[in-house]
Amino acid sequence: MKIGFLFPGQGAQFVGMCKDYYDKYNCVKDIYNKASDVLGFDIAKMTFEGTEEELCKTKNTQIAILVMSLAIADLLKQNGIEANISAGLSLGEYSALIYSNIIGFEDGLKVVQKRGTYMQENLPEGNWSMAAIIGLDDKTIEDTCKKATKGFVVPANYNCQGQVAISGEKEAVAEAMELLKEAGAKRAIELKTSGPFHTIKLQEASNKLYEALQDVKINKISEKTVLKNIDAKAYTNEDDIKRILANHVINPVQFKSIIENMIADGVDTIIEIGPGKVLSGFVKKTNKDVAIYNTNTVEDFEKIIAELKD
């Protein structure tokens, strides 16, 4: 058995996520307490007791998902379950980098806090939207987006076989959704997002993030491999990781290729670490032979321990 970890990104959050872990496991509570000290506010209180509106603000969402993901990864480690290869969707890449000690815990929390703030506060003027397109090949989606006449719209997330998220101006996204349905898409679903994420429209946020990353120490990559969103390849010690992470904000997420490369590397068991089950669905659509687990609740976690622990 070869285990891979996948960490979710923005959109998987819900009020109360991880509270069952927090109430049951002291090591999870310790991670939340340490994170609160670093961040300067009570992250547990915001995540467990705050409003959905507050949690769904990008500057809060990203850090809340990150802390949950790191707490559960630590809990798995304490129960003898680790992975030598990991990746994350968008924000989840930071969870993978911190888990793999390529970026330290404190540095990682601080830069993700800034990342969320920059992405929220440096949105270009206008109305922006994203939509998931299901049932078409990548090239058809790319070509159809170019036909939209009502503004900017491009593919932003290549999630899995037959599913791509497009991003851009609200009217252009709506137009592209109709064109894609005409082209044979099974479904076109508008997503609950507030900006043109993973497009060139976030250049200013990318620039500010690059500046913030200058204060982050990048550790030497040793045993644990992390696959990049930007090209689905493994990070190496020769990579300019800070530049890659800044460019990540303005480039499409190659998650379909990440899953394929992870499986090609011999991974036969994948654990989704954090809130939700979206990534588990992407894996199932990519390869039905891979064993997939998620950690959305304590019950899910206990199933993993029962089935995988040596």
Rounded (10°) CA dihedral 125, 131, 137, 140:
-50
d(CA 60, CA 191): 18
255: tokens are: 């998650």
| Catalytically annotated residue among 95, 129, 198, 280 | 198
Yes or no: say if 253 and 158 are a contact pair by the CB < 8 Å rule: yes
Radius of gyration of the chain (CA): 19
Name the catalytic one among 69, 86, 90, 280.
Answer: 90
Burial of 264 (0-12, 13-18, 19+ CB in 10 A): exposed
Could you give the angle at which helices 105-121 and 26-39 cross, rounded to 10 degrees?
60
Q: Virtual CA dihedral for 181, 182, 186, 191, nearest 10 degrees?
A: -10
CB 79 within 8 A of CB 298: no
Query: What is the distance between the alpha carbons of residues 95 and 5, in angstroms, rounded to a whole number?
Result: 10
Kind of pairing, strands 3-7 and 269-272?
parallel
198 an active-site residue?
Answer: yes
7 three-class SS: strand
Tell me which residue of 64, 80, 58 sits closest to 31, measured CA to CA: 64
Burial class (CB in 10 A: 0-12, 13-18, 19+), 23: exposed
Contact 55, 109 (CB under 8 A): no
Active site residues: 90, 198
